[in-house]
Chain A
Amino acid sequence: MERLGGVMGGKFLTNTIPVLLGLLGVAITNLPFSIFGSWIPSPMYALMPIYFWCLVRPDLMSPGWAFAIGVIHDVLSGGPPGIWAASFVATYAVIDRQRDAFAGLSGWGAILGFATAALAACTAQYLIYCIYMWRLMPVSGSIKEFAVTSVLYIPVAFLLAWIHHRFVGPLRSEI
Chain B
Amino acid sequence: MGNGTWRISRSRGGAHLPLVIVAALAVALILIGKAQSSLFDRARAGIVDWMRPALVATRTPMEALNRWVGSVGEIFVVYQENLRLKEENARLRQWHNTALVLQDRIKRYQLLLHAVPDPSISSSVARVIGRASHPFLQTMILDAGTADGIKPGQAVVDQRGMIGRVFLTGQRTSWVILLTDLNSRIPVSIEPNTDQAIMAGDNSPMPVIETLARGVQLHEGDQVVTSGDGDILPAGIPIGVIVADGPRYRVNLFADQTTAQDVQILDFKQPPEHPPAVSPGELPVTAAGLPPAVAQTNQGLPPPQLQPVAPKPVYKPPSVAPPVQPAPGTADDNSDSVPDNGDR
Q: A and B bound?
A: yes
User: Which residues on the A side are within 8 Å of B25 (C-beta)?
Assistant: 67, 85
> Quick one: closest A residue to B46, CB to CB?
A75
Residue of B nearest to A109 (CB): B4
Q: Which residues of chain A from 29 to 50 have a CB within 8 Å of any chain B CB?
A: 30-35, 37-42
CA distance A160 to B28 in the complex (A): 32
Q: Nearest B residue to A68 by beta-carbon distance?
A: B22
Contact between chains at B135 and A38 (CB < 8 Å): no
Shortest CB-to-CB span from A102 to chain B, Å, is: 7
Nearest CB on A from B61, distance (A): 9
Of the four ranges (under 10, 10 to 19, 20 to 34, 35 or more), the interface on chain B belongs to 35 or more
Q: What does the 1/0 interface line of B1-32 toward A look like (CB < 8 Å)?
A: 11111111111110011110011011111111
Residue picked from B23, B34, B43, most chain A C-beta under 10 Å: B23
From A33, A63, A161, B16 is in contact (CB under 8 Å) with A63
Asked whether, in the complex, the Cβ of B1 is within 8 Å of the Cβ of A158, the reply is yes
- Determine if A79 and B11 form an interchain contact, defined as CB atoms under 8 angstroms apart: no
Chain A interface size, as a band, is 35 or more
Q: Which of A35, A83, A145 contacts B66 (CB under 8 A)? A: A35
State the total of A-B contacts with C-beta under 8 angstroms: 213
Task: Report the nearest A residue to B7, measured CB to CB.
Answer: A170
Residues B135 and A59 in contact, CB atoms below 8 Å apart: no
Distance in angstroms between the alpha carbons of A157 and B37 in the assembled complex:
36
Establish whether residues B137 and A79, one from each chain, have CB atoms under 8 Å apart when the complex forms. Answer: yes
Please list 10 pairs of residues, one from A and one from B, whose beta carbons are closer than 8 Å in the complex, sorted by A's number.
A35-B62, A55-B3, A55-B6, A74-B40, A78-B175, A82-B31, A93-B19, A129-B136, A132-B34, A174-B7
A-side interface residues toward B, CB under 8 Å?
A: 30-35, 37-42, 52, 55-59, 62-64, 66-67, 70-71, 74-83, 85-86, 89-90, 92-93, 96, 99-100, 102-111, 113-114, 122, 125-126, 128-129, 132-133, 137-138, 140-142, 144-145, 153-154, 157-158, 160-161, 164, 170-171, 173-174
Nearest first, the 7 A-B pairs at minimum CB distance are: A32-B130, A106-B4, A141-B135, A81-B33, A82-B29, A82-B30, A110-B2
Given contacts A38-B133, A82-B33, 9 further A-B contacts (CB under 8 A): A33-B58, A74-B40, A81-B39, A82-B30, A89-B26, A93-B23, A103-B4, A107-B1, A132-B30
